[in-house]
């Protein structure tokens, strides 16, 4: 099954529209810096938290560089969710100079 992918510039445009973003990194990585609006669900917990994925619109899935998020997308897609993998991940977001949030996983 083919997973839709999006580059960091197009993803930035989508975030301005208020989309659902799931960050599948580990809590320490997320707390160090994450995309504003991203909800933490570590990759190992995705299967138990598919209810956090949007049912009426695409969910954008991000990690550090795009590998873990692709695995999460494959899992969610196999369960019928509309998901988009963010290529380049949080690393590309930071390199582009866009703002991040630091701190607690509930940010």
pLDDT confidence tier of residue 89, bands split at 50, 70 and 90 = very high
With CA atoms as reference, report the closest residue to 60 among 92, 106, 14. 14
In the chain, where the domains are located: 4-95
Pair 64, 94: CB distance under 8 Å: no
pLDDT digits (tens, 9 = 90+) for 26-71: 999 999 999 999 999 999 999 999 999 999 999 999 999 999 999 9
4-95: in CATH 3.40.250.10: yes
């Amino acid at each position: 099954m083919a997973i839709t992918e999006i580059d960091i510039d197009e993803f930035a445009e989508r975030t301005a529209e208020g989309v659902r973003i799931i960050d599948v990194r580990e809590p320490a990585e997320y707390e160090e810096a994450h995309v504003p609006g991203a909800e933490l669900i570590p990759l190992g917990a995705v299967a138990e938290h598919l209810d956090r994925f949007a049912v009426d619109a695409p969910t954008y899935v991000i990690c550090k560089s795009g590998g873990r998020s692709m695995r999460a997308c494959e899992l969610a897609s196999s369960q019928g969710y509309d998901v988009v993998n963010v290529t380049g991940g949080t690393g590309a977001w930071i390199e582009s100079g866009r703002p991040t949030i630091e701190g607690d996983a509930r940010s």
